[in-house]
Structure 1
């Protein structure tokens, strides 16, 4: 119930709401409390806000505390458990910093740097040639043994597999779900505050939305982290195909390639433009999307955060 503790701590920043929470805690018998038990001590607006934030839930005869331990923990001063010495405070700060930086490791940053170097190959011929020739050592025998459409299907399948596994293992879906839940909660509170004309609450919500922009940046970092590794592994295969087909001034090492028949388009050569992109890129994306969906279903891996 970490969310309950966080919400209570947010409410407790307002002295009046802190007092309201304490009153509800004191009056709750067997974990439940009725409006008639507290109406002389707290306002209807405070009561409604406790229900709106999920501190109080529907009970058998009234409203039940969502989690007494979490509520009491939210009322406590987060610094109360410290011994007061600078060592403890420094340790806590270090843990926070470590948690903040832990999402991108040194390896992640190294992968990002390598990816940037590979990106240069799209516009700089010498880099494209070096990468293409290096990849040809691995993929060349495959291209010599199979038609190009089959080679691209295999590449699309492999990229779909490691893309799925990297996203599943490098993205913290639980954290992203918390981000989404937080933003959804703010939107619901904002809508409710507008309906009842509570300008003070709207101001508080706006401040929370400004603070939540840091969380949105954290969500973006979580989403982009696996993309760095995916691009680092995928771009060399693309540069190899650029090099082999002579695209953008590549070496054009492959000759006598058979035409391909694309859905809704018909027979085209690999270098023909289809929807402003070469046919071989269109074929790769079609294969990649199809095989990625099959892999995700087969491995039962969810690629989007689910709100609880």
Structure 2
């Protein structure tokens, strides 16, 4: 794997000590049958070095306890300069690595831009009319067959379904859990060092903590990645609902909701108009049921 080899070279160039750290991890993993844990290498590696190997994807969670080295042969070759990489390929691969580490691809970025463009439809009527009129060809027959409150219910169920599936497939909960475990481990060592009055250790751990702050940005990128795809599909649905209410407000009648009673779709309820509140109530309820039924979790997975 060329990307793994490039990551190894980048780490070794950034910090010469990472070369020794990689050699230790390779040696200990081979001795342990292909897996390695923090306890196996804490006598040779700092937690910062261990975290960097996890962050870069050189260490991946094994099926059980510990981690495994991704492409051990490629790591070995990169450490000894036998991977045959050229300067040109190094630059190209480095760019690819940035995208891989952040979890974002070119398609994700394009989806984000498209979602932002659609978002303007709430204020720009030509965009709203274009999207609403286009979707009406598909959703119009549904609206004719069902009362409007049922249409909102169906759309909230559909959007809740794909939102849950997108989050489950695009978020790496294992890696997010690794980020959290690393930060927790650093915090515990920092607390112990403070209690011991070990100023040198406190300073060293502070440096590691500052380095680990970059992990928080990585977690945010990973969490936001499925959101751009969710918005790309959900915003047009919202625009159609908004367009439909503006075009046929008198024909849609009213809705009766718990604790509120009968109210017009455009009437303000708490902070939102009634149609938005009804959509959120239906969507959140169905999404929770779906996650439990399919045993889907979108929270960080920790050991």
Taking structure 2 as the reference length, what is the TM-score of the superposition? 0.72
Corresponding residue number in structure 2 for 1:99: 97
Corresponding residue number in structure 1 for 2:271: 276
Corresponding residue number in structure 1 for 2:82: 83
Report the Cα distance in structure 1 between the residues aligned to 2:271 and 2:159, rounded to whole angstroms: 23
Report the Cα distance in structure 1 between the residues aligned to 2:206 and 2:262, rounded to whole angstroms: 56
Report the Cα distance in structure 2 between the residues aligned to 1:158 and 1:84, rounded to whole angstroms: 48
Residue segments in structure 1 that go unaligned for 5+ positions in a row: 1-8, 26-48, 55-65, 247-251
* Aligned-residue offset at 1:262: 1.6
Report the Cα distance in structure 2 between the residues aligned to 1:141 and 1:84, rounded to whole angstroms: 60
Report the Cα distance in structure 2 between the residues aligned to 1:141 and 1:223, rounded to whole angstroms: 36
Structure possessing the higher relative contact order (Cα contacts under 8 Å, 6 or more residues apart) = 2
Report the Cα distance in structure 2 between the residues aligned to 1:292 and 1:84, rounded to whole angstroms: 48
After superposition, residues 144-183 of structure 1 pair within 5 angstroms as 144-183=144-183
Distance 1:188 1:93, change over 3 A: farther
Report the Cα distance in structure 1 between the residues aligned to 2:241 and 2:118, rounded to whole angstroms: 14
Taking structure 1 as the reference length, what is the TM-score of the superposition? 0.70
Distance 1:130 1:93, change over 3 A: closer
Report the Cα distance in structure 2 between the residues aligned to 1:78 and 1:219, rounded to whole angstroms: 30
Q: What per-residue deviation string (whole Å, max 9, x for no partner) do you get for residues 126-149 of structure 1?
A: 111111111111111111110111
Report the Cα distance in structure 1 between the residues aligned to 2:124 and 2:218, rounded to whole angstroms: 33
Q: What per-residue deviation string (whole Å, max 9, x for no partner) do you get for residues 250-302 of structure 1?
A: xx235332321222222211111111210110100000100001111111111
- When Rg is computed on C-alpha atoms for both structures, the one with the higher figure is 1
* Aligned-residue offset at 1:194: 1.2
Contact 1:82 1:89 in 2 (8 A): no
SS of alignment partner, residue 150 of structure 1: helix
After superposition, residues 55-70 of structure 1 pair within 5 angstroms as none
Residue segments in structure 2 that go unaligned for 5+ positions in a row: 1-11, 29-41, 48-64
Structure that is richer in helix per residue: 2
After superposition, residues 25-44 of structure 1 pair within 5 angstroms as none
Do structure 1's residue 293 and structure 2's residue 288 form an aligned pair? yes
Aligned-residue CA RMSD in angstroms? 3.2
Distance 1:93 1:197, change over 3 A: farther
Between Structure 1 and Structure 2, how many residues are aligned?
245
Q: What per-residue deviation string (whole Å, max 9, x for no partner) do you get for residues 146-186 of structure 1?
A: 01111111111100110011111111112111111111111
